[in-house]
Structures are given as C-alpha cells and as structure tokens.
Structure 1
C-alpha cells in the first residue's frame, strides 16, 4: 500500500539543484526533456536512510541542471509515495518517461541500475539485490518553469 506525504505549501526558496540526466534519484529530466513527458522518478528508501536524508515533500521546488551545470528548469514535487517494489504499476513505468511500455520493462531497467556497482557502493553492500518488498520512494513532479536558454 502506498503512503502519501501530506501536501505542504511551497517553501520560499528553491531546494538545491538536481542534475539532468538524473542522478541515482531525484527529479531529473533525462536528455533535457522539458516537455513534461517525464513526471516521476524513483529511488530506494535505503538510499535516503544511508545518506541520512529526509524524504522529499509535496510542494518542494528544485532547479534542474544540464550536463554543463546550467539551470534549465524548475520542477515542483506534486506527490510522494513510499511503496514496495511489488506495487510499482504502469502509471509509474510510463511516468518515468524512459520509454518503458510495461512494468516488467521498467523493473528490469531499474534492477540493472540498483544492482550496479555504483548503487552497491553507495549502500555499502556489494551483494545488494532488490526484491518485491524493497521499499521505493517515488517522486511525482511537474515542470513549473523552463528557464531561458534551455
């Protein structure tokens, strides 16, 4: 079952910039896609715990930066879900905007990433594997502003 974080008003200042293409988690817009096709990004709850980070909150705004470090857009989190991997659905697979046509395709692509050396190193577990009970943090967002020069 998904748990939604209650909506909160947008903070007065933006949170730190997030990269595009996306880092292991965080609302990034791969390939600089500012069309709004990508509306979700998924990370592991374990990442937040390992880094001592709080979960994102509805209403938070972040700058998206391109590979040259230029801010290209501002996104706002519209929904946050914490759910087990087994509950990932087609809405999420499509919302990630990566061209997946099924949950199985989406899961296979994400498992490849989550089982990769970079993730295992970040989690401090060289044997880390996900299963249906692995908890995810899904950030739903919208592009609120495309910045000049993007």
Structure 2
C-alpha cells in the first residue's frame, strides 16, 4: 500500500469502526456518509472522484485502500434505499439508515468535536460517497474487489 495516501477513519475507534472495516473488506459496504459540517469544522477538503484513501482500523493500522467513484453533497432527505443498503450496515431502507446516522451525528463524540450538538433535519447536508476497494492492506484479509461494486 502506498504510504502517501490520505487516511480515512470510520466513526470512532471501537466496535463501530471495526464493523465498518469488515463490511468494506467483505464487499458489503460500498458507500459512506459524512456530515458536511464536520468537514467544514475540520477544514478538510471534500473527497473527489478518483481519490484514494487508506482506511484505518481501530488500532490506527491501514486495513484497506478504497477509491472514490462518486461524491455528492445532498440534503439528508435525498438519501434513498439503494444508498442506505450500500452502506453495508444492514439497513433495509433509508429510514433505518437515517435513524442510525441521526443518532451518530448527535452523539457526544460528534458534539464534542464540533463544540455543539448539530441540528439534524431534512435539509442537513451530508457528503454521500460511493467507493470501490482497490487493495486490501492486511495480508490475511486479501481478496479481490467486488466487481458488482
């Protein structure tokens, strides 16, 4: 894995991040969502199509390299069932996806980072990304990318 790639950390270290990394490696997770306000607060540029990231596990080790294939900034209300299922967390529809994401976006960790609890409603902007696996980084989990994406 190239060591000059930007890193990506899902959620916070622990079981939630570990489940996300496992879902990427298994091919179940091909999408992810971030709160636009977090990017703005951190001063981070939004990802762009073709950009590659090294996804880190809870120990901070590279687990898999992904390539962004689509990025959209959309209101929360525009996330559909297909995107929700592509998140690979077992959501059956956008309503389940939204409930889980609202809970995370209002969590103490996010509130602490932002310095306030964000307002989450239909118009809240999120960064919706689709990606493909380029290369698994851990030798014991190496497998080809899911061609169905």
TM-score (norm 2): 0.80
The question of 1:146 aligning with 2:139 is answered no
Inter-partner Cα distance in structure 2 for 1:13 and 1:65 = 12
Unmatched 5+ stretches in structure 1:
1-11
Report SS of the residue matched to 2:6.
strand
Report SS of the residue matched to 1:149.
helix
Within-5 A mapping of 1:33-112: 33=23, 34-112=25-103
Inter-partner Cα distance in structure 2 for 1:29 and 1:80 = 22
The question of 1:137 aligning with 2:137 is answered no
The ranges of structure 1 where at least 4 consecutive aligned residues each deviate by more than 6 angstroms after the TM superposition are: none
8 A contact 2:21–2:63 mirrored in 1: no
8 A contact 2:32–2:129 mirrored in 1: yes
Match of 1:18 in 2: 8
Tell me by how many angstroms 1:149 deviates.
2.7
Tell me by how many angstroms 1:105 deviates.
0.7
How big is the alpha-carbon RMSD for the aligned residues of Structure 1 and Structure 2?
A: 2.2
Report SS of the residue matched to 2:44.
coil
Report SS of the residue matched to 1:15.
coil
Q: More helix per residue: 1 or 2?
A: 2
